A and B are shown apart, each in its own frame.
Chain A
Amino acid sequence: MSEYKTLTAADVSVGDKLQSTDIDISTGLVVCGALATRDFEPVHHSKAEAQAVGLPDVFMNILTSQGLMTRFATDWSGPEATVNSIDLKLGAPNIPGMVMAMTGEVTAVNGDTVDINILGENNIWGMHMQGTVQLTLPKEL
């Protein structure tokens, strides 16, 4: 049990920064992420199809981005947190070879509920996704 710590609202203040992380966007992550989310749209696994819509290579599907976003939030909060919502603005595509830097900051604390503003920014085209994940943190454990 003790190896997984979960934050409580008392541990958190507005302005707290989440430990940033860099995610290497590999072809594997793009294609397998699409597979794991059962998103078989060809633009996510076929380079030729992706190029037909004007992009240099296959690009990450939204469901994978959502998964990375919630993972980033709960990696910070710990497993006893409940995810209430994820509200994303979509930006530039993630293409293999890019690195997406994820950063986050607590923007609101209301009782046990916290809003975290998270930015995923790739090194080539900038903002890939930006938005708010809302969590409910456990009462004192």
Chain B
Amino acid sequence: MNEQEQKAFEDEIYAFVGKVVYPTTPAPDDINETMIRQWSEILGETNPAYLDADWAANSSRGHTISPPAMMYVWGQEGFQVTKGRAPNAMSTLVETFNRHGFTGVLGTNVKQDYMKESCIGDNISVHMVIDNISERKTTARGTGYFFETLSTFTDQHDDVVGTQRFKVLKFIPQEQPAAASDTDALAVPTRIPSPRGHDNKWWWDACDEGKVLIQRCKSCHTLRHPPRPMCGECQSMEWDSIESTLDGEVMSYTCLRHPVIPGYPKDPICAVIKLAEGTHFVANLVGCEYEDLRIGMKVKGKVEQVDEKTMLPQFYPV
């Protein structure tokens, strides 16, 4: 897009500022107990100000109120949106962006201000305009424009009960690197696997089969972990392995609170475990609270599938 084309394009999009997306439209349902109760049930909301008429009657308000965060819910279009929405100023604006290559879309901010609490029987109307469109910005996602809609919610007394500002970035998506295939984009991150080389592949392959092996020197029978090519005791390079019973004792442990690492459970506990066979081993402790852990406690391990791609020894308190 050259300078002239950009100017023409910007004239076209800035003309949308002030355009009405939804004229004042009353909600199909008045505020009602059933929808509030269902919303609360699903979101785990137990606030008696929304749910308990007896409690509310004695509260400072004297009655229940509608959850403020439901303000936008009442005026939502129904199931017909699955078949597409009727064109309006916003969809036309979005279409204009798309036509010029700004096909990326990202909701970045949403702000609701509540001016008046609503209660059962009220009817909420919504009125939405395109409030502003930014100048051209360079963002981490790509070059684009932010546009913001302003919704104003009124009740049957024409009192403003609240407003919502919703900011959206329309941008030109950056070229995906050729290596990033579609399947990568869909993958939920999994634990970082160990690379597998000459000295450790056999161990991880056995782990995939549900076994924890311990390398053993064929000459002097010394066990060693992590595996390495030569025996530190007799320098023999001949080795085999035994399978661990995964009986063990905690020698030390820590819980990784920060940073949160994609693909891992929150706050994973890691421990150094002395196996019954005598070698030390690092693995996760699970099925217990951090506060209950002690150095010296007995644990028992088993190899478990911990995510879509990973088999890993996990130890439980005995």
Closest 9 CB pairs of A and B: A38-B76, A79-B49, A36-B39, A87-B111, A123-B266, A67-B69, A83-B68, A70-B69, A85-B113
Is there contact, CB below 8 Å, between B186 and A90? no
Q: Is A84 an interface residue (CB 8 A)?
A: yes
Question: Could you tell me the distance in whole angstroms from the C-beta of B139 to the nearest C-beta in chain A?
Answer: 14
Q: Is A19 an interface residue (CB 8 A)?
A: no
Q: A79-B59, A85-B114, A88-B109 are in contact. Are A125 and B262 (CB under 8 A)?
A: yes
Chain A residues numbered 80-107 whose CB sits less than 8 Å from any CB in chain B? 80, 82-90, 95, 97, 99, 101
Question: Could you tell me the distance in whole angstroms from the C-beta of B51 to the nearest C-beta in chain A?
Answer: 9
Q: How far is the CA of A29 from the CA of B78 in the complex (A)?
A: 19
Q: Is B73 an interface residue (CB 8 A)?
A: yes
Q: How far is the CA of A63 from the CA of B266 in the complex (A)?
A: 25
Question: Could you tell me the distance in whole angstroms from the C-beta of B29 to the nearest C-beta in chain A?
Answer: 9
Collect the chain A residues with CB atoms within 8 Å of residue B59's CB.
1, 79-80
Q: How far is the CA of A37 from the CA of B58 in the complex (A)?
A: 29
Q: Is A113 an interface residue (CB 8 A)?
A: no
Chain A residues numbered 38-92 whose CB sits less than 8 Å from any CB in chain B? 38-42, 51, 54-57, 62-64, 66-71, 74-75, 79-80, 82-90
Q: What is the 8 Å Cβ interface bit string for chain A, positions 121-132, against chain B (1 contact, 0 not)?
A: 101111000000
Q: How many residues on chain B are close to A (CB under 8 Å)? A: 50
Can you name 8 extra interface pairs (CB under 8 A) apart from A29-B42, A40-B79, A74-B47?
A40-B82, A51-B186, A63-B69, A67-B67, A67-B70, A70-B67, A71-B45, A74-B49
Q: A63-B69, A64-B43, A90-B108 are in contact. Are A123 and B260 (CB under 8 A)?
A: yes
Closest to B307 in A: A97
Is there contact, CB below 8 Å, between A86 and B260? no
Tally A-B pairs: CB < 8 A: 134
Q: A64-B43, A80-B49 are in contact. Are A70 and B68 (CB under 8 A)?
A: yes
Q: How far is the CA of A33 from the CA of B69 in the complex (A)?
A: 12
Q: How far is the CA of A63 from the CA of B71 in the complex (A)?
A: 10
Collect the chain A residues with CB atoms within 8 Å of residue B112's CB.
66, 85-87
Closest to B264 in A: A123
Closest to A88 in B: B110
Q: Is B263 an interface residue (CB 8 A)?
A: yes
Is there contact, CB below 8 Å, between B107 and A95? no
Is there contact, CB below 8 Å, between A32 and B42? yes
Q: A33-B43, A86-B112 are in contact. Are A1 and B58 (CB under 8 A)?
A: yes
Q: Is B202 an interface residue (CB 8 A)?
A: no
Q: Is B188 an interface residue (CB 8 A)?
A: yes
Query: Could you list which residues of chain B lie within 8 angstroms of chain A, going by C-beta atoms?
Result: 35, 38-39, 41-49, 55, 58-60, 67-70, 72-73, 76-82, 106-114, 117, 185-189, 260, 262-266
Is there contact, CB below 8 Å, between A79 and B48? yes
Question: Could you tell me the distance in whole angstroms from the C-beta of B59 to the nearest C-beta in chain A?
Answer: 6
Q: Name 9 interchain pairs, CB-CB below 8 A, sorted by A.
A: A36-B73, A37-B39, A40-B79, A56-B188, A64-B43, A74-B49, A83-B68, A95-B188, A123-B262
Is there contact, CB below 8 Å, between B73 and A63? yes
Is there contact, CB below 8 Å, between B43 and A71? yes
Closest to B261 in A: A123
Is there contact, CB below 8 Å, between B43 and A67? yes
Is there contact, CB below 8 Å, between B113 and A37? no
Question: Could you tell me the distance in whole angstroms from the C-beta of A46 to the nearest C-beta in chain B?
Answer: 8
Is there contact, CB below 8 Å, between A56 and B111? no
Q: A33-B42, A126-B262 are in contact. Are A62 and B107 (CB under 8 A)?
A: yes
Collect the chain B residues with CB atoms within 8 Å of residue A68's CB.
43-44
Collect the chain A residues with CB atoms within 8 Å of residue B49's CB.
74, 79-80
Q: Is A112 an interface residue (CB 8 A)?
A: no
Q: What is the 8 Å Cβ interface bit string for chain A, positions 1-13, against chain B (1 contact, 0 not)?
A: 1001000000000
Q: How far is the CA of A126 from the CA of B44 in the complex (A)?
A: 22
Which of B38, B76, B187 is in CB contact (< 8 Å) with A39? B76
Which of A40, A80, A121 is in CB contact (< 8 Å) with B260? A121
Question: Could you tell me the distance in whole angstroms from the C-beta of B76 to the nearest C-beta in chain A?
Answer: 4
Is there contact, CB below 8 Å, between A124 and B189? yes
Collect the chain B residues with CB atoms within 8 Å of residue A124's CB.
188-189, 262-263
Is there contact, CB below 8 Å, between A36 and B111? no
Most chain B beta-carbon contacts within 10 A, residue among A55, A64, A85: A85
